[in-house]
Chain A
């Protein structure tokens, strides 16, 4: 008898917990969809990072223009903000520089010396500083020996410096969320850098 009662209480408790979780996730989805509707009404494109399905999307008018698969995801700090956020700064160790045209030097005919900024000139490792204390670090899967060695530095930064930075922000009573995103390869990372612009708005769908 006592065992049955215990079992019934456990089942009841579990179902309450499940329904609570369900409402929480519906609530999150609701908030997210309201924000997306506002973004989709604007003429500019916006990004959506779905941490559940691990997909980085570029969208416009509710339409997906391009998707990037997130191969690995790490996170520190506060929950991601449930509101539209914007990219304040895009930074990279080797950020591309725009080339200046020299007036009078016609370049159309010279294919070998085109002074242009192309996808191949974009960095494959970069960070995005967004508002509401959100930082996204993007890097590709290491392919060469050098990039594997470089990974050690990134590992140390992620597991020592970022928690300390978070502690510093905690002391200043400022929010900080850090996301570390690994994409499939260099080309994917470069195209992501290309597609995202400073001032670009977007959403992050949480776990």
Chain B
């Protein structure tokens, strides 16, 4: 009985060792293939007429760099960090004003019955100011009524609400605005339906500094 146990132990040990050996060999082969390769090795074929090529490439590169730089806005532009709820008014690399704002909550609203669905994110990317409005009225969209558990009105006049967007609003497309808020204590939190809420004093400065066409970058 003891002999059988010993041989079993031995064969188990052998199997384990064999598995380990296979694993080590496999890893070695994997390491050989996975070893990082340089991107430069891939363009070795372009070594002809080296000096001329070098000069041509250098000239082309500086022209390309210039072309990329010219795409950047020349005047004032707005950058919104939607994660940290920070809006900055910039000119070139200089930050003219840094403001705490409120951006989209990222929440989802579904219409009872599941016909429509809204995701309240602040849109990301590059936009530009399309409209500047003083004392704006809010034309409540369907989701505002659904969220409040109210019936969607048929008369468009019932959608108009005054005073909730502050004194100024800057539209940057698709119904999104940079506007004021009644909920100033929520500035710095992601609570909006996608618009960017700004405190009254800061909003006034932003409104005065930007013009139609001012670039807005949101990330």
Contacts and interface: CB of A to CB of B under 8 A. Distances in A.
Interface residues of A, number: 69
Contact of B124 (A45, A118, A191): A45
A60 interface: yes
A45 B125 CA distance: 5
Contacts of A163: 27, 30-31, 33-34
| Contact residues on B (Cβ < 8 Å of other chain), bracket | 35 or more
B38 A101 contact: no
A64 B185 CA distance: 31
Given A30-B60, A61-B126, A191 B84 contact: yes
A148 interface: no
Interface string B12-43: 00000000000000110111011111111111
B54 A65 contact: no
Contacts of A106: 147-148
Contacts, number: 198
B126 A33 contact: no
A24 B29 CA distance: 29
Contacts of A178: 34
A99 B107 contact: yes
A170 interface: yes
11 contacts: A24-B46, A27-B46, A40-B68, A62-B71, A79-B36, A82-B42, A99-B108, A100-B109, A103-B109, A116-B189, A190-B83
Interface of A: 16, 19-31, 33-34, 36-37, 40-41, 43-45, 58, 60-63, 65-66, 75-80, 82, 98-101, 103-106, 108, 111, 114-119, 122, 160, 162-164, 166-167, 170, 178, 190-191, 194-195, 197, 206-207
